[in-house]
Structure 1
Amino acid sequence: MSTTNYLDTPEGRRLAYHLSPGDGPCVVFLGGLKSDMQGTKAIHLQAWAQARGRAFLRFDYSGHGESSGAFEDGCIGDWAEDVRAAVTRLTQGPLVIVGSSMGGWQALLLARAIPDRIAGLVTIAAALDFTEDGYWRRFTAEQKRALETVGHVELPSDYMEPYVITRRLIEDGRDHLVLRDALALPFPVRCLQGTADTAVSVDTALRLLEHADCPDMRLTLVKDADHRFSDESCLRLIETAIAEVLAGRV
């Protein structure tokens, strides 16, 4: 497919990435928490972009995949810095951002940071503000005490080994929430959400739809699709969403 390269960021982290040359806007895939750039959606979309002569970037956040660092040392703000470093150093011109799960949150943070470069956005089961509205809100009193005393808690995962959730991840997340303050998205946005997703609720997708100020925003609910959103029919829906964003950009 392509060769893994590495980018050293201003913060001293080393990010692994794959970049395919082509026409713009460049499609940038942002993966989920503890996911990596070798996932089904990332690989499929790179092949889709290459077949159409479209520039494409996928990469691993620090503490993920082939990039430097430990997952437990990272937080939303660190990974947002990684995203900005990757798109600033590796791409030029307009971007179409495709954010899956936590990558949806990161996509909105990027849109807030560099709105002039965003030509469109596609979210897939976007896990917005999950550190506060998911983890912290559901933590028991015992788990909250453990964060204060031990500095972390472990949570089971349906997809891999337990998540180690640190006090820093929770506290830093509060500095990067996107569903509280005004959220201007002045470009086409397509949101995809499965109704059988046990990690991100339909309610979260509806909150984004109601909250964002966007002239061209659509939410597609897919009956019985789960959080992976990576079977053949779901992949086709992602392709269609990207194509719509590209066709509708100003």
Structure 2
Amino acid sequence: MAATTFLDTPQGRRLAYHRTEGKGPWIVFLGGLKSDMEGTKAVHLEAWARAHGRAYLRFDYSGHGESSGRFEEGCIGDWHEDTLAAVTALTEGPIVPVGSSMGGWQALLLARAVPQRIAGMVTIAAAPDFTEDGYWARFSEEQKRRLLEHGRIELPSDYMEPYIVTMRMIESGRAHLVLRTPLALPFPVRCLQGTADTAVSTETALRLLDHADCPDMRLTLVKDADHRFSDGPCLGIIENAILDVLGEA
């Protein structure tokens, strides 16, 4: 496997990435919260892109994987800046973001920032606005009090070790919400969602589908698929969704 390369961003962060040259549009994998570019989906899609001669980029947000910084120091806005920096410096021309979980939110923020560059989009268990709707709205009064007083709390996870939620993450999330204001997606979008996902609900997927202004948006529900969405059949569904938005299915 090729050695990891690093990008220094305008904000002074150092992002680890793997970049595969090929025909465009560039496929850009955007990972989830506390995931990294060595995850099953990211690595599988790189191999698939290389086998088909397609341009592909996977990278680690700051505080994730091999990139600089600590996870608990980061927030939605930082990772949006990281995504913009990576896309700007490491790709050219049209792109197809493939966003998993929090990466789905990042894909939507990317579409707002550089709509002219998006050729299509695939989301996998997209979690837009989760800091507000999944965290803050469900926190007990005691959790909110501790967060406001101490600036951080620890939450358990079904998919990883407990992680830290900071007040900075909540506040940054509020500054980057996408389901409260118009969301124009003037390109093909394919949303994938497992019915056994305990981290992101099908209601979230339906809310995004209903909210977005998109002429060609489809939601595929996969029975019994969980949040990882990374077994063999699910990986094939992701491949087909990418081909679909490219008009090659």
Alignment TM-score, normalising by the size of structure 2: 0.99
Q: Which residue of 1 aligns with 2:87?
A: 87
What do the CA deviations read for 1:62-89 (whole angstroms, capped 9, x no partner)?
0000000000000000000000000000
Query: For 1:156 and 1:17, how far apart are their aligned partners in 2?
Result: 28
Percent same amino acid among aligned pairs? 76
Matches within 5 A, 1:71-150: 71-150=71-150
What do the CA deviations read for 1:141-198 (whole angstroms, capped 9, x no partner)?
0000011111111000112210100000001100000101000000000000001100
- Verify: 1:33 aligned to 2:41, yes or no: no
Contact 1:188 1:248 in 2 (8 A): no
Query: For 1:226 and 1:195, how far apart are their aligned partners in 2?
Result: 7
Q: Which residue of 1 aligns with 2:179?
A: 179
Query: For 1:248 and 1:178, how far apart are their aligned partners in 2?
Result: 29
> How much is the aligned-residue C-alpha RMSD, in angstroms?
1.0
Query: For 1:172 and 1:30, how far apart are their aligned partners in 2?
Result: 18
Q: Which residue of 1 aligns with 2:223?
A: 223
SS of equivalent residue, structure 1 residue 174:
helix
Query: For 2:103 and 2:172, how far apart are their aligned partners in 1?
Result: 16
Query: For 2:38 and 2:127, how far apart are their aligned partners in 1?
Result: 20
- Verify: 1:232 aligned to 2:235, yes or no: no
- Following TM superposition, the consecutive aligned residue runs of length 4 or more in structure 1 with deviations greater than 6 angstroms are none
SS of equivalent residue, structure 2 residue 77:
helix
- Verify: 1:212 aligned to 2:212, yes or no: yes
Q: Which residue of 1 aligns with 2:154?
A: 154
Q: Which residue of 2 aligns with 1:242?
A: 242
Query: For 1:91 and 1:178, how far apart are their aligned partners in 2?
Result: 25
Deviation of residue 2 (structure 1)? Answer: 2.7
What do the CA deviations read for 1:23-61 (whole angstroms, capped 9, x no partner)?
100000000000000000000000000011000000000
Query: For 1:132 and 1:20, how far apart are their aligned partners in 2?
Result: 35
Q: Label 1:248 to 1:212 Cα distance change in 2 as closer, same or farther (>3 A).
A: farther
Query: For 1:191 and 1:82, how far apart are their aligned partners in 2?
Result: 23
Deviation of residue 3 (structure 1)? Answer: 2.4
Deviation of residue 248 (structure 1)? Answer: 6.8
Letter in 2 for 1:186: P
Letter in 2 for 1:164: I
Query: Which 5+ residue runs of structure 1 have no aligned equivalent?
Result: none
Query: For 1:81 and 1:216, how far apart are their aligned partners in 2?
Result: 27
Alignment TM-score, normalising by the size of structure 1: 0.98
Contact 1:9 1:15 in 2 (8 A): yes
Contact 1:2 1:20 in 2 (8 A): no
Query: For 2:101 and 2:151, how far apart are their aligned partners in 1?
Result: 25
What do the CA deviations read for 1:189-243 (whole angstroms, capped 9, x no partner)?
0000001100000000000101001111100000110000000000000000000
Equivalent pairs, count: 249
Deviation of residue 129 (structure 1)? Answer: 0.4
- Verify: 1:67 aligned to 2:67, yes or no: yes
SS of equivalent residue, structure 2 residue 182:
coil
Q: Label 1:118 to 1:193 Cα distance change in 2 as closer, same or farther (>3 A).
A: same
Query: For 2:172 and 2:13, how far apart are their aligned partners in 1?
Result: 18
- Verify: 1:7 aligned to 2:7, yes or no: yes
Query: For 1:224 and 1:52, how far apart are their aligned partners in 2?
Result: 30
Q: Which residue of 2 aligns with 1:169?
A: 169
Contact 1:94 1:117 in 2 (8 A): yes
Query: For 1:30 and 1:84, how far apart are their aligned partners in 2?
Result: 11
